Amino acid sequence: MIGSIFYQTLRRNWRQMLWWGLGMGAVGLAVALIVPNADMLKQYANIMKTVPPAMLAMLGGEDAVSVSTPTGFLDLIFFSYALLILAGFAVMAGLNITANEEESKIMDMLLSLPVRRWRLMLERFLAYTLICLGIVLLTFGGLWLGIKASPALAMDEGRLLETTLNLLPSTVLVIAMTMLLATLLRNKNIAAAIAAAIIVSSYFVDSIGRTASDSLANSLRVISFYKYYDSTFVIHNGLNWGNVLTLSVVTIVFVIGSLWFFQRRDIGI
């Protein structure tokens, strides 16, 4: 029955959404509670003035003045690193779609049932996309509670929701990328290692590229998904739909590639 694999994936993994979402939400709550402390922000601003502009840009900030505001502080301390945390979940989710069961030698048994390969992958991918959405919404819940508990923090709740939802396209892209790597390499450890290397290098290429406009790293930013995440722009101006579209198109390409390769190769037994 269409949708049965989607439902079973949700039923078996909804706790991941709960624990990851509550964990991210708790971190967001803690950061939001710290932000309104005027004395702390003043001290923080003085510290940031001693940091070289290039180093500050590498960390994800704009300048000492902007990062000492509640919005800038929240971006630098939480949103700049939230995607790295969610990328860890995304790699595990991508491996769960096919690689883990193929590695444990049970995928061939599953596919002996009247289940098409493309349906298995696609429904699981969609289920994990929904789980990611749940994690992001729980994260927003923690940030929202922090803001409500701190009346001194004046921040547009709609803009906060947009910035939190901006985590979703990049996270889903990492799931699709890991799924494709696992399909091509047929070894979950190698696939996970390469996915982790791509995530880390993408982060550093974007960070270093922001500090030097004439460097090779700046030219390579175009292939870094962190460039299209750009939480600093979103928290100040709202979602960049061009970036969202770019990430979505690449994700669809990765998913189609995964389906095509998985459909045409032998399953490890």
DSSP per-residue letters across 69-125: SHHHHHIIIIIHHHHHHHHHHHHHHHHHHTHHHHHTT-HHHHHTSS--HHHHHHHHH
Average pLDDT estimate for 34-46: 62
Kindly tell me if the per-residue pLDDT of 51 is higher than 60: no
Helices 167-185 and 117-148, interaxial angle, to 10°? 150
- Reading the block at residue 225, the tokens are 């998904």
Structure letter (DSSP) for residue 221: G
Question: What's the pLDDT score for residue 68?
Answer: 63
Lowest model confidence (mean pLDDT) among 38-42, 94-98, 104-108, 123-127? 38-42
For 61, left (φ over 0), alpha (ψ -120 to 50), or beta?
Answer: beta
Average pLDDT estimate for 13-34: 91
pLDDT tens digit sequence for 183-218: 998 888 999 999 999 999 998 888 887 776 666 667
User: What distances in angstroms separate CA 206 from CA 90, 174, 216, 225, one per listed residue?
Assistant: 20, 16, 11, 8
Quote the pTM value. Answer: 0.88
Cα–Cα distance, 223 to 246 (Å, whole number): 11
Cα–Cα distance, 211 to 217 (Å, whole number): 9
In 3D space, the residue among 64, 62, 96, 241 whose CA is nearest the CA of residue 182 turns out to be 96
pLDDT tens digit sequence for 99-158: 888 777 777 677 766 778 888 899 999 999 999 999 999 999 999 998 888 766 667 889
Average pLDDT estimate for 56-62: 51
Question: What's the pLDDT score for residue 49?
Answer: 54
Cα–Cα distance, 134 to 137 (Å, whole number): 5
- Reading the block at residue 132, the tokens are 């990611």
CA atoms within 13 A on the CB side of 39: 0
Cα–Cα distance, 49 to 61 (Å, whole number): 12
Burial (CB count <10 Å: 0-12, 13-18, 19+), residue 234 = buried
Q: How do the domains of the chain map onto residue ranges?
A: 4-263
